[in-house]
Amino acid sequence: METNRWTLSDYLRVGLSGFPLDSLVSIDVTYRCNLHCLHCYFSRQDYTSELSVEEWIRHLERMKSRKSPLYICGWLGEEPLLRPEVIEAGKQYFKSNLIFTNGTMELPSWPDCTFVVSVPGTKIHYQELTGAEGRIYDLVKDHANRPDLRVIVSFCITRKNASSILSFLPEWQNDTKIRGVFFEFHTPRMDEGKELCLDWTERDSVLDTLLNLKKTYKDFIYNTSQMLKLMKSAHLKKILSDCPFSHMGLSLDPTGHIKLPCTLGLEADCQRCGCILPVFSLILYKRGWLFRAFVEGIKRDARERRKMRREPC
C-alpha cells in the first residue's frame, strides 16, 4: 500500500473547513499489558478478545471507503507494542500516527511515526505507580533515547507524582535525546476519590508551575503555552461540557467496535477529565487556533532539526 502522506489539498481542506468528522481516530490494539499501572484507565475495561491483523485491515478498508479522510490515528490499548504487526499494517491508512507505549520494549524503527512513551515520574514514583521494579525505569529511558525516532515522553500527573516534576525535567533533558515531555492529568473513574486525582485548585497550581517552567525549558515542555492555559479550570470546565472530540473523533476498542464516549471508556469521570484529548481536539476544531498551532509546529520542527544538527552523534 502506498504511504498515505499529507498533501496540499489536505491542508487546504482542513484550513478552510476544519478537521472532518471521524478524521481523528484512536484504536485499542490490545487489551493486554506487561505492567499494572495504578492510574491506567484501561484497568477496569473488560475485554477478552481482539481483532486479528487481517480483520483490522478489512475494518480499515471499510473506513477508507467512506467520504471522511483518515488523518490522525492514536494507537493505544493496554500496550500496543505487544502487537506491532497490527500497527505496522494499519499505520499506512493514516497520514499521522502516534504510538502510545509504556516503553518497556524496544521501539520499532518507524521514522514516520511519533512515539509517546508513558513515564509517570522519576524512578521512585515510577515504581510506585507502575509496580515495575529493578531496572525497568532505566530500560524505558534507554528505549526512549532514540534520536533517530520522534519520541515524546508523556507524564500523567497524579497526586502521587506531581512533586517529581521539578526533578524529572532536568533528568530527562540531560540523560536522553527525546523531543520533550508532554503533561496531562489523571482522569479518574466515576467511583474514584482523590487518591490519585488532583482537584481543580491543585491542577491550576501545577499548571502555573509548568507555565513558569516553560520559560526555562521552552520546547522541552511539549505542551504549548496555549494548551497549558486551556487546561486550567476556567477554560477546561467549559470545554468538557461539550467535549470537542465528540465532533471529530472516533474511538475503536480491541474488537473494532465504537467506544463511547472516547478511548477512556464509560467509567471515566468526564467532568474531571485530565486527558489532553479535549484540548487537542478543540485546537484542531477551531480553525484560527489550528492555524496558530500549525505555524508553531513548523517552527518547533525547524528548531528540532537545527538542534539535532548541532549535537554530536
pLDDT digits over 184-204, tens only?
999 999 999 999 999 999 999
Confidence grade of residue 48 (pLDDT, cut at 50, 70, 90) = very high
Q: Which of 54-58, 64-68, 187-191, 298-302 has the lowest mean pLDDT?
A: 298-302
Residue 116 has pLDDT above 80, yes or no: yes
Average pLDDT of the residues of the chain: 90
Q: 3-class SS at 47?
A: coil
The reported pLDDT for the residue numbered 296 is 64
The reported pLDDT for the residue numbered 69 is 82
The reported pLDDT for the residue numbered 21 is 79
- Provide the whole-model pTM: 0.90
Confidence grade of residue 234 (pLDDT, cut at 50, 70, 90) = very high
Q: Which domains does the chain have, with CATH numbers?
A: 8-310 (3.20.20.70)
Residue 285 has pLDDT above 80, yes or no: no
Q: Which of 35-39, 142-146, 286-290 has the lowest mean pLDDT?
A: 286-290
The grid coordinates listed for 284 are 484542531
The reported pLDDT for the residue numbered 63 is 92
The grid coordinates listed for 224 are 504549548
Confidence grade of residue 30 (pLDDT, cut at 50, 70, 90) = very high
The reported pLDDT for the residue numbered 5 is 80
Given its phi and psi angles, is residue 153 left (phi above 0), alpha (psi -120 to 50 degrees) or beta? beta
Q: Yes or no: say if 268 and 245 are a contact pair by the CB < 8 Å rule.
A: no
The reported pLDDT for the residue numbered 181 is 98
Residue 2 has pLDDT above 60, yes or no: no
- How far apart are alpha carbons 53 and 101 in whole angstroms? 19
Residue 287 has pLDDT above 80, yes or no: no
Cell numbers 515504581 correspond to: 127
Q: Yes or no: say if 182 and 227 are a contact pair by the CB < 8 Å rule.
A: no
Confidence grade of residue 44 (pLDDT, cut at 50, 70, 90) = confident
> DSSP state, 257?
-
